C-alpha cells in the first residue's frame, strides 16, 4: 500500500510542520483559500507550499503598501511641523498676511507722497506735473504688486489718468 506522504498528499499536521506553523493556522490558511484541500485532512504537498508562498507574498505586498502610506503620512506630519515652527519663529507667514502688510506699507508711502508736490513748488502747473509723475510711478508699482499677488505674469491694464 502507498502512503499518503509518498503520493504527494500530506495531512494538516505534516503540512504545519513543513511550513513551521501550527496545525490550526495551516487549516485556517486552507479555509481562507490559500492552501487547496484534496480531501478530508488531505492536502497536496505542492499546493500547500505554493499556497503558503502566495500567502506570504500577499502579506509582504500589503505590508509594503502600508509602510509606504505610513511613511508618506509621517513625511506630511514632519513638513507640517516644520512649517508651524517657521511660522512661530517669524521666518514664514501666510501669503495673505504678507500681501496685507505690503499693502499697508504701500498705502503709507502713497499718503506721504501725496503732499510732495505742494512742498516742492508753489507753481500750480509744476505741482500738476510732479503729481502726474508720482501717480504714474505709483500706478506702475500697484500693477506690479497686483501681478505678484495674483501669481500671474500679466500686469493689470494701465489705469486711465
Per-residue pLDDT at 48: 95
Q: pLDDT tens, 90-144?
A: 888 888 888 888 889 988 888 888 888 888 888 889 989 989 999 899 889 888 8
pLDDT confidence bin for 161, thresholds 50/70/90: very low
Q: Give the whole-angstrom CA distance, residue 44 versus residue 31.
A: 15
Q: Give the whole-angstrom CA distance, residue 50 versus residue 15.
A: 12
Per-residue pLDDT at 6: 52
Residue 155 has pLDDT above 50, yes or no: no
Residue 3 has pLDDT above 70, yes or no: no
Q: pLDDT tens, 30-87?
A: 999 999 999 899 999 999 999 999 999 988 888 877 777 788 888 888 989 988 888 8
Per-residue pLDDT at 45: 93
For 107, other C-beta atoms within 10 Å of its C-beta total 10
Q: Which carries the bigger pLDDT value, residue 24 or residue 83?
A: 24
pLDDT confidence bin for 152, thresholds 50/70/90: low
Per-residue pLDDT at 55: 93
Per-residue pLDDT at 30: 94
Compute the CA torsion angle 91, 95, 99, 105 (nearest 10 deg): -10
Domains in the chain: boundaries: 9-65, 94-150
Per-residue pLDDT at 153: 52
**Grid coordinates of 138:** 505709483
Amino acid at each position: 500500500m502507498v502512503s499518503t506522504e509518498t503520493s504527494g498528499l500530506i495531512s494538516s499536521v505534516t503540512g504545519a510542520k513543513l511550513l513551521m506553523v501550527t496545525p490550526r493556522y495551516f487549516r485556517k490558511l486552507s479555509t481562507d483559500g490559500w492552501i487547496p484541500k484534496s480531501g478530508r485532512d488531505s492536502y497536496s504537498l505542492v499546493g500547500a507550499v505554493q499556497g503558503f508562498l502566495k500567502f506570504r507574498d500577499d502579506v509582504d505586498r500589503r505590508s509594503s503598501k502600508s509602510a509606504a502610506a505610513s511613511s508618506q503620512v509621517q513625511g506630511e506630519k514632519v513638513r507640517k511641523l516644520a512649517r508651524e515652527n517657521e511660522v512661530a519663529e517669524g521666518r514664514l507667514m501666510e501669503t495673505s498676511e504678507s500681501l496685507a502688510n505690503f499693502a499697508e506699507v504701500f498705502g503709507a508711502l502713497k499718503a506721504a507722497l501725496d503732499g510732495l508736490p505742494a512742498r516742492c513748488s508753489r507753481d500750480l502747473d509744476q505741482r500738476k506735473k510732479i503729481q502726474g509723475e508720482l501717480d504714474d510711478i505709483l500706478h506702475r508699482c500697484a500693477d506690479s504688486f497686483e501681478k505678484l499677488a495674483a501669481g500671474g505674469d500679466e500686469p493689470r491694464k494701465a489705469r486711465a489718468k
